[in-house]
């Protein structure tokens, strides 16, 4: 399988700050890859270099076998900084963008109509862009990035600022595009989007790549360390029973009132299931598998960072 995106030894510095530190990355064709990391990790800087908006100080970047400028008509790009021609009407704007991408006028308008319906924006064709809500504007800009049917789609924080309803609509569209054979690369610091959509994840922190695996491989490498013990009795009594089980390092209360029993460093969480069940104080016991957010926090913390960092100008 050919790689749609290849980075080798890429570095980028802004003044005294090294925003990207020697990243190597290969994204196979047909992959739906999430680039994850805290705010300020280097995600947007990496994407801007992919798009030849800025250039690396060291290393090489190949996009669809060349540089992004040469391949621009085969790439769809949604930048982190949103922006429309506010005085233009929606259909006029999309037709203009389509023309820039090489679409004939009638074809550009047809695709714009189709996409507005597909992304659930009916009746906005004649509205000026400035009359739309922020979420609607973002959906229009998404259409502008994909209406020319690109084979590689690069989305920088596409879900940022969207409400849950519009997030679900956009997630559905991304899934459909991927199912249609498109290679999709999107950055996010919202782990649940990556966990539900991606087949591959890349984690960047402080400009360094910490993780580059399939989602299945990531989950397989991070075994559960906690058991959920459900109880219909008093939490305090149940927690005291769980705490006395050998191999339990600590206990805490889950949101639903269950006991979360954390295994100590010498014990596999799966080995706590039988002894917890044998106490007969619990209505059920099960492993709590780590979410991508749990894994993200663990890796970033181990790297000497924080799970959430403040926004920087060069993210």
Break the chain into its structural domains and give their ranges.
Answer: 3-86+141-220, 224-289
pLDDT tens digits for 117-175?
999 998 999 999 999 998 899 999 999 999 999 999 999 999 988 999 999 999 999 99
SS3 186: strand
SS3 211: strand
Angle of helix 90-100 relative to helix 134-146, nearest 10 degrees?
A: 30
The partner residues of 293 in beta bridges, in order of sequence, read none
* pLDDT higher than 80, residue 307: no
* pLDDT higher than 50, residue 198: yes
pLDDT tens digits for 254-301?
999 999 999 999 999 999 999 999 999 999 999 988 888 888 888 878
What pLDDT, on a 0 to 100 scale, did the predictor assign at position 157?
92
Q: Which two tokens stand for residue 228?
A: 């959920």
In the chain, the percentage of residues whose pLDDT exceeds 90 is 71
Alpha-carbon span 297 to 38, nearest angstrom? 10
Alpha-carbon span 112 to 107, nearest angstrom? 8
What pLDDT, on a 0 to 100 scale, did the predictor assign at position 311?
36
What pLDDT, on a 0 to 100 scale, did the predictor assign at position 83?
79
The answer to whether the CB of 102 falls within 8 A of the CB of 149 is: no
Pick the CATH number of 3-86+141-220 from 3.40.50.2300, 3.30.70.100, 3.40.50.80, 3.40.50.300: 3.40.50.300
pLDDT tens digits for 68-127?
888 988 999 999 887 788 899 999 999 999 999 889 888 999 999 999 999 999 899 999
Cα 59 to its chain centre, rounded Å, is 25
The answer to whether the CB of 129 falls within 8 A of the CB of 86 is: yes
Pick the CATH number of 224-289 from 3.30.70.100, 3.30.380.10, 1.10.287.130, 2.60.120.560: 3.30.70.100
SS3 47: helix
Alpha-carbon span 214 to 262, nearest angstrom? 27
pLDDT tens digits for 10-69?
999 999 999 999 999 999 999 999 999 888 889 999 999 999 999 999 999 999 999 888
Count of alpha carbons within 13 angstroms of residue 211, beta-carbon side: 28
What pLDDT, on a 0 to 100 scale, did the predictor assign at position 222?
81
SS3 23: strand
What pLDDT, on a 0 to 100 scale, did the predictor assign at position 84?
85
The answer to whether the CB of 223 falls within 8 A of the CB of 268 is: yes
């Amino acid at each position: 399988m050919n790689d749609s995106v290849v980075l080798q030894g890429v570095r980028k510095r802004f003044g005294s700050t090294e925003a990207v530190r020697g990243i190597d990355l290969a994204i196979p064709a047909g992959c739906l890859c999430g680039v994850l990391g805290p705010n300020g990790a280097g995600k947007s800087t990496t994407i801007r270099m992919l798009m030849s908006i800025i250039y690396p100080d060291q290393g090489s970047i190949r996009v669809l076998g060349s540089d992004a400028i040469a391949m621009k008509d085969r790439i769809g790009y949604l930048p982190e900084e949103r922006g429309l021609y506010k005085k233009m009407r929606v259909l006029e704007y999309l037709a203009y963008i389509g023309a820039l991408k090489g679409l004939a006028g009638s074809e550009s308008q047809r695709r714009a109509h189709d996409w507005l319906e597909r992304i659930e924006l009916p009746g906005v064709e004649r509205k000026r862009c400035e009359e739309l809500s922020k979420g609607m504007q973002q959906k229009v800009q998404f259409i502008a990035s994909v209406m020319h049917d690109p084979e590689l789609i690069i989305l920088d924080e596409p879900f940022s600022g969207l409400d849950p309803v519009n997030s679900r609509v956009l997630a559905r569209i991304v899934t459909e595009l991927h199912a249609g054979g498109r290679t999709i690369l999107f950055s996010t610091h919202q782990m649940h989007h990556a966990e539900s959509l991606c087949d591959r994840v890349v984690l960047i922190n402080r400009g360094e790549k910490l993780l580059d695996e399939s989602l299945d491989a990531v989950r397989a490498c991070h075994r559960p360390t906690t058991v959920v013990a459900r109880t219909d009795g008093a939490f305090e009594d149940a927690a005291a029973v769980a705490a006395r089980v050998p191999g339990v390092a600590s206990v805490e209360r889950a949101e639903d009132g269950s006991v979360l029993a954390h295994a100590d460093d010498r014990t596999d969480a799966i080995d706590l299931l039988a002894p917890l069940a044998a106490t007969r104080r619990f209505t059920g016991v099960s492993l709590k598998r780590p979410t991508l957010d749990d894994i993200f926090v663990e890796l970033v913390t181990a790297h000497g960072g924080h799970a959430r960092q403040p926004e920087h100008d060069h993210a």
